[in-house]
Chains A and B, each alone.
Chain A
Amino acid sequence: MHAALIGQLTIDGLLVGGVYALSALGLNVIFGVMRIVNLAHGEFVIGAALLSAVLFERWHANLFVVLPLAFVLAFGLGALIQRAFLRRLPEDLASAEATSLLMTFGLSYFFVGAWLTFFSGNFRSVPYLTGAWTLGPFSIAQARLAAFVASGIIAVLLALLLRYTALGRSIRATSQNVQGALACGVDVERVRTLSFALGTAIAAASGCLLILIFTVNPETGANVTLASFAVIALGGLGNYAGTLVGAAVIGLAVSFTGYFATAQVAQAAPYVLFILVLLLRPAGILGKSGA
């Protein structure tokens, strides 16, 4: 096979993988602290994507101005959802998991409907940085590179936040052991709200970057949710470094199957990988998701 072609597919795949990674990091923060699998995650990603597309259409708003705006809005929305609904989950863990799943499932459709109302069902994209740089035999799409770099910066900021701030320490403590965190005087309720808000805000940020690459409409959120979960299933729940690896694998899988098989296979690749990984190593994942 042509080395240049392999290189090109690898570049395309890895650059998209960066955005998947960011979206999955958001999910992972939420899961780590709250043990909630947020099925509405893709809707937050898509909501922000559509918002930035509309703002661009109307006022040619620069995406890197829109991104902080979407981040803040989503942070508020996330905090609100946690305060209003998720906080009221039942006490015992088994039914809390079931209820939270049903709740976020309901939320996801609520937001699909909301985005349809606000943004209509139109597919949107942002004609921003549509060009490409040529680098030897490769062509590097400007939008993809920008999205990748921005995702990387946000991921690094998140890592710094988790490692060096008081909030970050509380988040990590709560993720590891709720009782322990409580004993150390962590306000767990507050940490949960902030984590859900933070996870939602990261989803929104990844949406603003995703729209640089993809064409989306309100009904494409489920695909994003599933792809993000595929990333997490590959990388391990609560494992941040694993998330990056998982995202790279998904990005490459989509890019390579799209070329060597068909676009249909590429569309199914994240789900198939997701199911395969779950089935091949359910124990490992179960160990982390149970209890």
Chain B
Amino acid sequence: MELSMIFSDPFVRGIVLRAATVGVLVALCGGLLGVTLVLKRYSMIGDGLSHVGFGAMALAPLLALLPGAAFLADYALEISIPVVGAAAFFLLRLSENSKLGGDSAIALISTASMAVGAILYQVTTGMSSDICSNLFSSASVLNITNKDLLLSVILCSAVLLLFILCYHRLFSVTFDENFCKATGGHPAVFKLLLALLTSVTVVLGIRMMGAVLISAVIIFPALTAMRLFKSFRAVILCAACVSVVCFLVGFAIACLCSVQTGPTVVLVNLAAFLLSTAFARIKSR
């Protein structure tokens, strides 16, 4: 895509701006939530949720096959979010209960929902590019409608607001659950909240990043920030900034070089992570 075309053609400009807005919001939420997820050793839950999201996104075209329900095809996000939210609740319970072997349970659920998703897509839309785009994101970036944009803005604002209101509690829960509980806190409630916020972010991000890659947006910025800063607040702020900047850089490269958005953003995140690691090494010498 030519740079001049993005700015001159109002149609193209609209598409690109919509995609960029949703992407920035998702990157912001992912960066914020990622720190807590990484520190609580919940990275795999984020990854598991994204795979469940892939399966859940395939539900909308299936439901649309029902007589008189064709309009449901446009409501993929609205249908996926409750499904992934329920999965978040379930995955959290599994990982708490170490007897069941949390990580293998997560692997089970994520592969199973990938399989369900793949079959559903084949049944409904035929073996089409939909699968590839939902896995790695490509054409679907450009399919973001104004409705999706509005939904993304509302939900991301909600995630941000809840995060800010509960910031100190999330710190307390992340650092020391037992103490939090002993002083009258409710760690279980906040962990559930965290899982729900993550599932919203994941579903909104799938179109942008693809189901396989969305968890990178959550995990990479947190790890990058942890290399650079030592206080919780600085790490959170840095992760949010790194996430947004990496997304914008990746998105711009993807547009200009006509490559897929998801993988490009992940590679930019990887570059940032490597740079910060190198920086931390040099500084510690």
**B is a partner of A:** no
Residues of A within 8 A of B (CB): none
